[in-house]
Structure 1
Amino acid sequence: MERVDVAIVGGGPAGTSAAHAAAEHGADALVLEKGVPREDREGLGPDSTDAAGILDYWVDIMGIHPDEMPDGVVQNVLDRAEFRGPNTACNLRSTGIESSYDEFGYTFHRARFDDFLRSRAEDAGAHYRVEASVIEVDADRDGHPRHRLVLASGEEIGADHLLLCDGPQRTVTMNVLDELLPAHRAASQVLSPPTANHIAYQEYRKFPEEIYEQVQDAIVFWWGLMPGHTAYPWIFPNQDRVCRVGLTMPIGMDIDAVEDRDSYQLLRPEDDRIPQGATYIERLLEREYGDEYDLSDFPIVEDAGKSRGTETYPISSTRPIDSPVDAGVAVCGGAMGTTSAFHEGGDHLAVRTGAIAGRLAAQGRLSHYNHEWHEAVGEELLRNVSLSELVRGWKPEKWDSVFQVGEAMLAEEGANEMLSWSPRAGLRGAKLLGEYKLTKFRNRNRYVQLTADEYSY
């Protein structure tokens, strides 16, 4: 049996960041990645795709400045986020949170970002193995090693510390945690992907020059056009007039359960089920640009994404979890629920939680992981959980009402929050801000859905 200090399941941002930190602190770290193909990457790599954008203060959470990345990773520098409702819109030009990064944000090339993180980990001395699917994990708290991992190839790997970074699909994570939880609190119930995740879909499309010039400095989100909690389409600009046009929505929605379906502009009277992602995107482009352009003016770029210019992937829509650290196990990134269906993604949180876990594992201090991730990213996760809870049940007219006062409430530099009140926002603005602050206050001690004391060892 092969022996390592730290075994890491999953080679995405959380896993490679954990490997980098563990190796930098002297541990023998091994990343086990099952590997999936992409059109824009040579060979196999992680199944960790999202719309791939970073805001200014996320740079500091992540701990990696874009200047450290090779050419081609950063695609476009951003100066705003546009929030569009059915009939109103507002722009966010500052997150209001202090940052070492001078711009509003940037978009990046997903596959190149993953390759950069892998190279960074390997340069530090970590090992990265592809086509290494973990099919079984046996744990012995008093054993040496404490964890035995069995791969699909039949190989066995022993490790003193196990870091679970297998993303929102949580294929390995759920099985490991189920062994450490009582039957009534099974991880397969709490974290089951069909109920704990949204589904995201996006296409890489080449935009007409005039339209690209309008969006190349912005990430654009539409709210209130499609049903479902935190369901929304977006546009993220890449280089060379290519944009990622996508959406996220709950899994398994029933169109018959949608109230006031006529108010959602991306639904049609003839729809007998929730439309597929590709249909939603076509309708969005027709709605926004159909007066002057045809769909053929936005061709799919087939040498990107997972399958001929498209990709489908899960994204967590649940609260984060603590880890069973006394068993020598830490759960990081999307597997622990740090990605968010509200803001589309969480690479910065995956990188940070992975780095914390890797460092502590190498130092023999993994018992500190839950405390340290709370200190490092708890405020960001509390914000995401609270905003997601605040908007639950909002209908299209509510989004229009909010965006009418939004311009007056969105952050200015030094505000320390994305929402603030000014006299221009009036009573509606004061009420909205009060609801958000109250929701955040109520969530301050309960934004984690599975706490450390629920595990049994």
Structure 2
Amino acid sequence: MKRVDVAIVGGGAAGAAAAERAAAHGAETVLFEQGVPREDREALGPDSTDAAGMLDYWIDIMDFDYREIPDDVIHRELGGTEFIGPSTAVELTTTGMGASYDKFGYTFHRARMDDWLHERAEDAGADLRIGTSVTDLETDLRAEGPAGPTHTLTLADGDQLEAQYVILADGPQRRITLDALDQFTPPGRSISDYLSPPEANHIAYQEYREFPEELFEEFEDTLKFWWGYIPGETAYPWVFPNDGTVARVGLTMPIGMDLADVDNPGAYKLLRPEDDRLPSGSEYIRRLLELEYGDEYDIDEEIPVVEDRGKSKGTETYPISSTRPIDSPVGANIAVAGGAMGTTSAFHEGGYHVAVRSGKIAGRLAATDSLEHYNDLWKDAIGDEILRNVAFADIVEDYTPDDWDWAFDVVTDMQGDTNDNVLVSNRYSAGIDAMKILGAYKKRKFKYRDGRYVQFPEDKYIY
């Protein structure tokens, strides 16, 4: 049986970043990625659904110099974002965070970014096996040797491989992660209780649409989000400008939600009285486009789907982790990174940046026999970002359309006549309502302080 130092399950952002760091630090490294086809990719690759965008400080979280990233990865530089409520809206032109990148951010081609990370991993010496899936992982806690436990990975073709360290980066679907971690959970407990995809994930759907030039110019450097238009916790449609005059139009919503779960269907602009069920993603998008642009444009003829983009005929459906993260069983020589561990968030449409950074940390530590420090170091690197996401997601969990209008009015007042970050320089200028938002945010941050946003800590594992 072949033996390697580090085996990585999953070839997305976290897995590829882990492979590059592990190989660069001298470890014999192999990465397994099942691979999916795409209309705009010649070969198999990871499930590279286009990410929403990259904000300025996220590049620093990834620990990249923005000048390293190839030009063909970036679709369009951004100048700001617009949050649209049912009756009001607010525009932001700064994240308010210190960053080395001098723009608000950019949209990018996710498949090309993943391919670039793969090239970096291969150049560092990692063995990338795209189109090869892992079907089982078993850990020997009694393995002899100074490095401790070892692992046997079974591949789809029946071959097996032994590894000293394993990094699980199989994304929000967690095909291998759940069973692999259940080896170390107490009787009667399961990691599925925390990370079961139907419970812990949202579903996202998007279409690539070609816009008339004069219409595209209205948002060519702006991310647009519509809050309070569809029901569900952290549920919202969006439009993101890509290259040319193509934009991605999509939405995120909870999995398995039913119309009966909606308290006041008539309050949501994209629901109709005749609906006997919640619309599909494609129907939601059609209704959004008709609402926003239907008075002036024929949606099918003048804003058509671009069928040679995305995974299938101009459309993509994909899961997004929407839960709090877990620690890894580092005592078993296992690290979990990216969406598999729950670090990504539906609140900001994924989390490519935190996936890359957690993967980098896991790969470096596995290669240097230092994996015991992983749970501390990923919190040091991305904990503030996760704390913000968890806190804001808690605040808006039960927001209705009226609540979104109220919040955006408050933010507009907090901005005053400047473009400063609204939660920093003008946070008191809107009076009592601003203090309500600020107070709720501080309360949530205090609740999850010192890493308490972790829902399954390291000391709960049994070895």
Report the TM range for the smaller structure's normalisation: over 0.9
CA distance in 1, matches of 2:142, 2:373: 19
What are the Cα deviations for residues 105-160 of structure 1, in whole angstroms up to 9, with x where unaligned? 00100111111110011111111101211111110123267000000111111100
The answer to whether the 8 Å contact 1:98/1:414 transfers is no
Identity of aligned residues (%): 58
Output the amino acid matched with 1:456.
Answer: I
Indicate the residue corresponding to 1:300 in structure 2: 305
Q: What is the count of residue pairs matched by the alignment?
A: 456
Indicate the residue corresponding to 2:13 in structure 1: 13
Indicate the residue corresponding to 2:250 in structure 1: 246
Indicate the residue corresponding to 1:228 in structure 2: 232
Counterparts of 1:83-232 in structure 2 under 5 Å?
83-143=83-143, 146-232=150-236
CA distance in 2, matches of 1:45, 1:329: 24
Cα distance, 1:49 vs. partner? 2.1
Cα distance, 1:63 vs. partner? 1.3
Output the amino acid matched with 2:235.
Answer: A
The answer to whether the 8 Å contact 2:94/2:104 transfers is yes
Indicate the residue corresponding to 1:258 in structure 2: 262
- Rate the CA distance shift 1:366–1:189 in 2: closer, same or farther, 3 A: same
CA distance in 2, matches of 1:231, 1:14: 25
Point out where structure 2 has 5 or more consecutive residues left out of the alignment: none
Is residue 2:44 matched to residue 1:44?
yes
RMSD after superposition: 1.6
Counterparts of 1:233-382 in structure 2 under 5 Å?
233-296=237-300, 297-382=302-387
The answer to whether the 8 Å contact 2:50/2:109 transfers is no
SS in structure 2 at match of 1:350: helix
CA distance in 2, matches of 1:50, 1:334: 15
What are the Cα deviations for residues 410-454 of structure 1, in whole angstroms up to 9, with x where unaligned? 698886x85554454222112111111111111214211110011
CA distance in 2, matches of 1:382, 1:433: 15
- Rate the CA distance shift 1:18–1:79 in 2: closer, same or farther, 3 A: same
CA distance in 2, matches of 1:52, 1:64: 18
The answer to whether the 8 Å contact 1:50/1:313 transfers is no
Indicate the residue corresponding to 2:447 in structure 1: 442
CA distance in 2, matches of 1:318, 1:143: 34
Indicate the residue corresponding to 1:53 in structure 2: 53
- Rate the CA distance shift 1:418–1:355 in 2: closer, same or farther, 3 A: farther
Q: Please identify, of 417-426 and 360-369, the stretch whose mean Cα deviation from structure 2 is larger.
A: 417-426
CA distance in 2, matches of 1:210, 1:276: 29
SS in structure 1 at match of 2:188: helix
CA distance in 1, matches of 2:365, 2:91: 40
CA distance in 1, matches of 2:251, 2:368: 41
Cα distance, 1:257 vs. partner? 1.7
Output the amino acid matched with 1:150.
Answer: T
Cα distance, 1:406 vs. partner? 1.2
Q: Please identify, of 286-295 and 379-388, the stretch whose mean Cα deviation from structure 2 is larger.
A: 286-295
The answer to whether the 8 Å contact 2:94/2:420 transfers is no
What are the Cα deviations for residues 134-191 of structure 1, in whole angstroms up to 9, with x where unaligned? 1111101232670000001111111000000000000100010111102332012221
The answer to whether the 8 Å contact 1:49/1:110 transfers is yes
What are the Cα deviations for residues 197-256 of structure 1, in whole angstroms up to 9, with x where unaligned? 000000011111111101110111110000000000111110110101110000000101
The answer to whether the 8 Å contact 1:408/1:422 transfers is no
- Rate the CA distance shift 1:187–1:420 in 2: closer, same or farther, 3 A: farther
Cα distance, 1:13 vs. partner? 0.4
CA distance in 2, matches of 1:339, 1:422: 27
The answer to whether the 8 Å contact 1:421/1:430 transfers is no
CA distance in 1, matches of 2:319, 2:5: 30
Q: Of residues 418, 426, 430 in structure 1, which corresponds to 2:435?
A: 430
Cα distance, 1:50 vs. partner? 4.3
The answer to whether the 8 Å contact 1:52/1:110 transfers is no
Structure-1-length-normalised TM-score: 0.97
